Structure 1
Amino acid sequence: MDAVIRASDKRVALSALAKKRQAETFEGYSRRYLNFSDILDGYYECDHVVPWTISACDVDAELMLISQDWASEEFLLKTGKDEKQKAFGQVADLATNVQTRTMLEKHMKLSFRETYATDAFAFIKSGSMNARIVFRDLVKSASDYALPQIRIVRPKMVLCLGSAPFNAIRKASGQAGGWFNLERSYQVERPLHTTVDGIPVFAVAHPGGTGTRSIGGWQKAEPRWEALGNYFQSLRAQPTSPRSA
């Protein structure tokens, strides 16, 4: 059984990782990305690796969520300084966030605040919210920031929202088998197809409109959440170390 890691030690390690990100200039393959301090006078800078963690920062969470990235330069300049977005690290009524909370509560039996949420990409991209990030840049950020967060928090399960962050985690952690599509990425295989230090990692379609439509709508997307919810409940039922202090 793994030794219990104190919550205070986890917070120290996560804080150090956030400070590393704050100090970094991320030079990508073909572009330079912005840090949170580079835009709107640093209005959205925070004490986490990414702002999404603000309202989902349980360091003893049993479930970790990993999305692709938090925001784009164009989106932030358009919305400006939004007090609620700054306070909660998300636009609460955005369809993507509403659907994520709904699926968590329905199938994982968790509220959003009971998870630990982060992004594979820890910087701000240029262009629109649906702009692509060069995959090797996504992999580098996942290696530098997402993987360490998985290893610090040590949840029972990691759930990626979308194929890009999932495959970036796979690539960064040296998984065999190449690129996985969303059809395979949610399936519970024996042995498990993707793990990080023994922690199972899966993916579902991104809960936004584009991601959901890409696999045929919610009639296809929700059964995948349900299947992973059932597996997650089986993990929760297993004996475990006590939560850290």
Structure 2
Amino acid sequence: MSKRRRIAELARARRLDSLPPHRGFSEFHGGIYDQHDHVVPWTISAHRVNSPVMIIGQDWNSADNLGRPVVDEQVALGQIPWLPSNINLQARLAQHFGMNFGDTYATDLFVFAKPGNMTARIPSNHLRYCACRYAVPQIEIIRPRIAVCLGVSTYNAIRTHLTRRPRVRLRDALQEDEPLLIGKTNVVVVPHTGAWGKRIANAGEYWERAAEFLR
């Protein structure tokens, strides 16, 4: 079975899944944001299933945001390109990998719309649930050379699910001696590309460490 068909099957499984109090993407505006064969809408703009790079964000959207009037760009592209976090991500990919966002395969760890706004916290056990059911299977299907986690919460959800080791702090992740591997894929962490991550002075070091796996 092809990679695309396996991803489409995982997307169908996600639509049948539930994790209260979170909501499915298809519950908003008649399902306009969920008319695709991707696990999350973000993949619409970055669905290169044979890319050496996978990008894993924490979560795609919140119930408050999706309850507002429809945003045409989010329907068509699965993202709003001019948001600062997306602009920063594009810049990092170009600077360190020589790639555009569309050259990658992008997904999100958490596959539901959380209650509240985009800064609302997601319980760690819910992140691990999605790591087990959706993020790790996507890595196993795509088999990129690297899977780049945007933010330490995303990285820790995958790490603790796979290894049962304690959570790691972002500032300590650069010093980890044992690589986190899924098959032959190196799973790495970089600071989130949003406002908080931009305040980290040595953010470029995390991206350069990730880029080493592509050389």
Match of 2:37 among 34, 47, 53: 47
Query: How far is the alpha carbon of 1:141 from its aligned partner?
Result: 1.0
Secondary structure of 1:61's aligned partner: coil
Which residue pairs with 2:5 in the alignment? 12
Paired letter, 1:25? S
Q: Secondary structure of the equivalent of 2:5?
A: helix
Partner residue of 2:214 out of 233, 236, 243: 233
- The answer on 1:23 being equivalent to 2:16 is yes
How far did 1:186 drift?
A: 4.1
Q: Which residue number corresponds to residue 183 of structure 1? A: 171
Deviations along 1:63-109, one digit per CA (max 9) or x if unpaired, are: 1111110000112223x211111111101000000000110011011
Q: Percentage identity across aligned positions?
A: 36
Unaligned runs of 5+ in 1: 1-7, 235-245
Partner Cα distance (2:126, 2:188) in 1: 21
Q: 2:38 aligned with 1:57, yes or no?
A: no
Q: Equivalents in 2 of 1:199, 1:62: separation in Å?
A: 9
RMSD: 1.5
- Deviation at residue 34 of structure 1 after TM alignment: 0.4
Which structure has the greater CA radius of gyration? Answer: 1
Give the aligned partner of residue 140 of structure 2: 151
CA distance in 1, matches of 2:87, 2:74: 14
Q: Per the alignment, do residues 85 and 187 of structure 1 end up closer, same or farther by CA in structure 2, a change over 3 Å counting?
A: farther
Q: What residue number does 1:74 align with?
A: 64
The amino acid across from 2:22 in the alignment is Y
Cα separation, 2, equivalents of 1:205 and 1:198: 23
CA contact (8 A) 1:108 1:232 kept: no
1:221 aligns with 203
Q: Distance in 2 between matches of 1:147 and 1:177?
A: 16
SS in 1 for 2:202: helix
Q: For 1:88, which of 58, 77, 82 is the aligned residue?
A: 77
Q: CA deviation at 1:183?
A: 1.8
Task: Render the CA deviation track for 1:216-235: whole Å, top value 9, x for unaligned.
Answer: x3x32123212322x1332x
Q: Is the 8 A contact 1:186 1:228 kept in 2?
A: no
TM-score between the two structures when normalised by the length of structure 1: 0.83
Q: Which runs of 5+ in 2 are unaligned?
A: none
Q: Distance in 1 between matches of 2:59 and 2:66?
A: 13
Q: Check the 8 A contact 2:14/2:39 in 1, yes or no.
A: yes
